[in-house]
Structure 1
Amino acid sequence: MISKRHDDSKNSTNIVSSNLCDNNVKQHSGYIEIAPGANIFFWFFESRNNPKGSPLTLWLNGGPGCSSLFGLFEELGPCKSNNNGSEITNNIYSWNEISNMLFVDQPVGVGLSYGSRVVNSTEQAAEDLYVFLQIFFAKFPEYATLDFHVFGESYGGHYAPAIAKKIVEANDLIQARTNKETKINLKTVGLGNGWVDAEIQLQSNVYFAEFNSYHPVLDVKYIQEMKNISFECKSKIEKSKSTEEFRKASIECDSIPQEIFDNHSYASVYDIRVSNTSYSSMPSADYVSFLNKPEVLRSIGAESFGNRTFVECSDKVFNYFSETGDGIRSYKPHVEYLLEKNIRVMLYHGDADYICNWFGGLDVTNQLVWKNQREFNAAPMQYWKVDDVIAGQIRKFGNLWFVKVYESGHAVPFHQAKNSLDLLKKWFNDN
């Protein structure tokens, strides 16, 4: 765990370059203070192949309140933690095979990020994340000119469109020379089992519970109960304007149907192929033990995390967002904005995930209002193969892709590591 420390008091950074996780690539990790009481943790890895010629991909896990280090260690990062955090193994299907990778714990209070700042909305989180990116690129200008991709998983269906829209808007101001920030070379946005539009996706939960690719996950009477709720909720969500209205709609339209599923279905909401008491098809928590070791925190520049305990997901941050009804707010308009600005967007969904299921993802793409809506909706679903084995289906036209990933739950890069890397390659090449 050899570390070389950088000092930059101007930007209030505390960053190290260690050889932990992947000792064959250059990496940087630590804190950037975006404002007093707001310390954002990040971990950056150069690409294993031609880093100067590879793009830079920002990865964001969801929650809200869940650490992007879950994505690093359990999904698509260069290494995995095993045996209760006692050992590290190489991930041959890491996304840094073809891309420089930036994992960020955001907002403040998530993962290793800490401080007194309270963030309770996606828009506020996007503002903070944009400040972080500006400081990051000022610190590491060699990465500022690379093609930039934003990928978000689960609640990242809110986070990713929000930060992408912020980047595009800021770039327009930079182009007009009304500010002096670094222009970020945003090319695409990827949403993995993303929570984009509650009104659309909550409706889809009812149909997925009965007509998914595997088996029904609720008895008919409970499906009917959820249908009744979803019918009433459609208008409630449409009429919500104030924070209080969004908060109430969140309870009635999201929390209550979720309770029905939790109380009356044996299946996991993240992977209906397994029971809700089974962890056989879900990522382990070994990396949590690993990240709570003082020597590990020191090696990645996180010693100032102090005596706090790293947890995978912060209940406190989740509750902050719940109190504003943030999850009910739609980010479909943000996706439409990005498409009109010629930013490519991909929604990909594991076919065994209930909570952000592929029915809902497909419905979101079909209802996007943009210049090629008609052509996209008329495009066929084409089989996607990896090594001559069908890995899923893809519908694409213009700047929009929808992907149904076979035999995968909520976390596609965990369930289908090889196939997710293949999909990323195809996405980068637009092929």
Structure 2
Amino acid sequence: MRGLLLVPLGLIVLQITTIAAIGASSSRLVEKEIDVHLAADNKHLESGLGKPLRLSGYFKLNRTYDAHMFYFFFEAASEKRHEEPLAVWMTGNCPRTHPFIWGPGCSSELAIFYENGPFRINEDLTLDANEFGWDQTHNMIFVDQPINTGFSYSEDERDRVYDEKVVAADMLDFLKEFRAAHPSYFEAPLFVTGESYGGHYVPAVTYGIFEHNKVAKEPFNLKGLAIGNGLTNPAIQYGSYADFSFANGLISKNVQSTLNAIYPICRFGINACNTLGWDFVCSIALIFCQDTIVAPIQAEGFNVYDIRKPCIGPLCYDFSLLDRYLAQDEVREALGVGDRPWQSCSPDVYNDFLGKFLRDIMRNYEDRVSTQLDAGIKVLIYVGTEDWICNWMGNKRWVSSLAWSQRTAFDKAKEQDWQLDGNIVGTIKAAGPLSFVKVYESGHMVPMDSPAAALDMITSFTHGRDNSSSTEAAGHPALQMKLEKVRSSHLVVQ
């Protein structure tokens, strides 16, 4: 035993046990079990089921010289844990201080401790349980990627990542190896999820799996993807900045008109970048769109991730508790990361995507989504309505432009109210395997701002309920129990 932390009020006893290896059947996985005892675990112990398995680990990538991908795995905190869907999460948020805004490089530890992971950090650096963590109804994998994000690392410069082709290949390599070590979790449906630059990551990774499944002897049980406040089709999404900003009182009507007059040039440049794929064309398009569309609005000064709140620090949020928590020697030893430095967001990864391969930032991944939709892969696009950087208007426009077989049905579908505890918390528009959800009172990080709604939404999506027509409760016992604590009902469409 490396350490024992007693949390106030007896909510959690955190006992971290380090294990050199847990018997994983892969020489490329080195895992450690994190033995966290939550109050909710008592019922599992009493029933003989045992506490959910929680792991941290490193994965050695085959294609690289020295790259090690860091990840967490949290077994579902439910009685039917091996039957629960497996969900992979990739954080994509980027630092606000860079003049070009978009980009990858933020660690999934942000999600684990502030959004949809199982923990919350107290001021005294003890932990509370997140009763609305997505592990309540899913087996969860959180990955630090691309390489050099979070605790992932390589000492060899040749291992740096610049585009989604490599991101997709690395994630597929990881999932194959993780499945070899933990095959039982892959019998259930697989969903890939993420936010922000996850609008690039998620379609790229799922499309890689989709293509792999066509020829694989052991295909993955890929069932769906979910993107929260993502950047997926820049050519369309850049056109929403002026309209969203005017609608929310950030700019005047004259400024809106001026920016909308400039936008067609921006769109032309982005389309040329996608058509030609030349770095200098993509660079010109990025600089032009940022300088003429984005910069004039940002000059007004506001939190680009949540227009309701002040901007604090480079991420516009104070995540210093996580910096302090992960700096503790006993925590780092328990996670198996040694003295390796950790950053919430890596400027090196960010600059790699902005520098050598500028075309990735402006790349349109809409076609990856439409192809998978036509193959029956479920797609959930959800957006917090108070986010500016990947706002709901831009996301709705690119979703509405998708070229797929049920586009007409989606166009005709009406937005319907989503209710929790008798309150309207958002809207849903859906047809076939596609759902578009607006989440009220939420910014860029929906699971942080609306945790109960986010858990209800993702559980309904992954557990097979058609939100466009059903008025029945999702019926998941673990979810029902958690939502009852705040006297909330399940997702209801009326």
1:54 to 84, 93, 111: 84
Partner of 1:45: 74
Contact 2:75 2:140 in 1 (8 A): yes
1:301 positional shift: 2.2
1:246 to 282, 286, 298: 282
1:34 aligns with 2:67: no
1:4 aligns with 2:33: no
Contact 2:430 2:436 in 1 (8 A): yes
Please list the CA deviations of residues 63-93 of structure 1 after superposition, one character each: whole Å capped at 9, or x if unmatched. 300111111111010001121x711111011
Q: What amino acid is aligned across from residue 198 of structure 1 in structure 2?
A: P
TM-score of the pair, normalised by structure 1: 0.92
How is 1:266-305 mapped onto 2 (pairs within 5 angstroms)? 266-277=301-312, 282=317, 284-303=319-338
Length, aligned pairs only: 417
1:250 positional shift: 1.6
Contact 2:269 2:284 in 1 (8 A): no
Partner of 1:136: 178
Contact 2:286 2:362 in 1 (8 A): yes
Q: Are residues 311 and 278 of structure 1, via their aligned partners in 2, closer, same or farther at CA, if it must alter by over 3 Å?
A: closer
CA distance in 2, matches of 1:69, 1:33: 20
CA distance in 2, matches of 1:77, 1:155: 19
1:120 positional shift: 0.6
Q: Are residues 222 and 293 of structure 1, via their aligned partners in 2, closer, same or farther at CA, if it must alter by over 3 Å?
A: farther
In the alignment, structure 1 segments of 5+ residues that lack a partner are none
1:159 aligns with 2:191: no
Q: What amino acid is aligned across from residue 74 of structure 1 in structure 2?
A: Y
Please list the CA deviations of residues 213-266 of structure 1 after superposition, one character each: whole Å capped at 9, or x if unmatched. xx3112445434433432211111112221221122122213653332332x23
TM-score of the pair, normalised by structure 2: 0.81
Contact 2:224 2:377 in 1 (8 A): yes
1:196 aligns with 2:232: yes
1:80 aligns with 2:115: no
Q: Are residues 4 and 309 of structure 1, via their aligned partners in 2, closer, same or farther at CA, if it must alter by over 3 Å?
A: closer
Partner of 1:226: 259
Q: Are residues 202 and 277 of structure 1, via their aligned partners in 2, closer, same or farther at CA, if it must alter by over 3 Å?
A: same
Partner of 2:491: none
Please list the CA deviations of residues 166-193 of structure 1 after superposition, one character each: whole Å capped at 9, or x if unmatched. 001101101xx4xxxx421111100100
Q: Are residues 387 and 138 of structure 1, via their aligned partners in 2, closer, same or farther at CA, if it must alter by over 3 Å?
A: same
* Cα RMSD for the two superposed structures: 2.0
CA distance in 1, matches of 2:195, 2:423: 25
1:279 positional shift: 10
1:235 aligns with 2:277: no
CA distance in 2, matches of 1:150, 1:221: 42
1:389 positional shift: 1.1
Greater relative contact order (CA < 8 Å, ≥ 6 in sequence): 1
Contact 1:11 1:32 in 2 (8 A): no
Contact 2:116 2:133 in 1 (8 A): yes
CA distance in 1, matches of 2:204, 2:291: 24
CA distance in 1, matches of 2:25, 2:89: 26
How is 1:63-142 mapped onto 2 (pairs within 5 angstroms)? 63=94, 64-83=104-123, 86-115=125-154, 116=156, 117-142=159-184
Partner of 1:13: 29
Q: Are residues 47 and 248 of structure 1, via their aligned partners in 2, closer, same or farther at CA, if it must alter by over 3 Å?
A: same
Higher Rg: 2
3-state SS, counterpart of residue 308 of structure 2: strand
3-state SS, counterpart of residue 309 of structure 2: strand
In the alignment, structure 2 segments of 5+ residues that lack a partner are 1-15, 42-50, 95-103, 467-494
1:430 to 438, 441, 465: 465
Q: What amino acid is aligned across from residue 439 of structure 2 in structure 1?
A: V
2:378 to 333, 344, 363: 344
